[in-house]
Amino acid sequence: MAGDRMAAGGEAVEETRRFAPRFDAAGLITCVTVRAADARVLMVAHMNAEALRLTLESGVVHYWSRSRGTLWRKGDTSGQLQHLVELRVDCDQDVLLARVAVGGDGGACHTGRATCFYRVVGRDGATLTFAED
Amino acid sequence: MAGDRMAAGGEAVEETRRFAPRFDAAGLITCVTVRAADARVLMVAHMNAEALRLTLESGVVHYWSRSRGTLWRKGDTSGQLQHLVELRVDCDQDVLLARVAVGGDGGACHTGRATCFYRVVGRDGATLTFAED
């Protein structure tokens, strides 16, 4: 957060109507992807400028796979295409929020689960339990 | 994602019950914070190991402020303390999801809004509109 930063035209970045995503040093921006129907967080991944452009142009979410070093249209092999309902950006424009409708069986995680966030961290900071939902 | 990575004991990292958060080269892990009541995404910030430990021990969410270079108990000045309802971790243990109940006026964004994600990206990839919710 940097409330004193100005966007083009002298507007504070938090109030501007100009989309100016802030990619990191690797050219990536974090994207939180949620199910539009119930706001459930499905996954967190990254986009580069091309993935972002393709997402907006096609209406299907694209990411940049850091592990594979490739552009990645989520669902191409699994059928779990993420149809973009709405894309948001946060106050300082360094995180995206994609609200999606998921195709195929509705899942998002490569383990086969609906969400990547299926484990709860114990207050001991050492153990995990599997969530029931 | 790296489905072939093994945790201690030979379990796949996705199936282990051992919490082993993967901090990045700067010692940070991304945390998505949502309102427990309705799953709405409030903000995305970062934790270092100490912020994570304090969050679990105290039940109040702590972050590491990258801009200020300090530990940050969210709400200390605003009253918008984030009481931890549940902490989750994703499949490859490099993102946290904090489900919280927010104190004070219930807001999370430094602009005074409930959420940092108050602007919608236009399909033109250039303009933003302010969301009504």
- Say if the Cβ atoms of A91 and B118 lie within 8 Å: yes
- Say if the Cβ atoms of B44 and A19 lie within 8 Å: no
Q: How far is CA A47 from CA A96, B46, B109, in A?
A: 9, 18, 23
Best mutation target, A83, A119, A123, A124, to test chain B (most B CBs within 10 A): A119
* DSSP string over chain A: --TT-B-TTS-BTTT-SB------TTS-EEEEEEETTT--EEEEEEE-HHHHHHHHHHSB-EEEETTTTEEEETTTTTS--EEEEEEEE-TTSSEEEEEEEE-TTS--STTSSS-S--EEEPTTSSBEEE---
Q: How far is CA A18 from CA A79, A119, B113, in A?
A: 34, 38, 19
Residue A1 has pLDDT above 80, yes or no: no
Kindly identify which residue of chain B lies nearest to residue A37, measuring between CA atoms: B39
Quote the pLDDT of residue A3. Answer: 45
Rounded CA gap, B77 and B88, in Å?
Answer: 26
Quote the pLDDT of residue A2. Answer: 44
Q: What does pLDDT average to over chain B?
A: 94
Nearest to A1 among B17, B110, B130 (CB): B110
Angle subtended at Cα A124 by Cα A123 and Cα A127, rounded to the nearest 5 degrees: 95
Quote the pLDDT of residue B11. Answer: 83
- Say if the Cβ atoms of A41 and B38 lie within 8 Å: no
Bridge partner list, A44: A32
Residues of chain B contacting residue A67, judged by C-beta atoms under 8 Å apart: 1-2
Residues of chain B contacting residue A1, judged by C-beta atoms under 8 Å apart: 67, 110
What percent of chain B is predicted at pLDDT more than 90? 90
Kindly identify which residue of chain B lies nearest to residue A42, measuring between CA atoms: B90
pTM above 0.90, yes or no: yes
Left, alpha or beta for A111 (phi > 0: left; psi -120 to 50: alpha)?
alpha
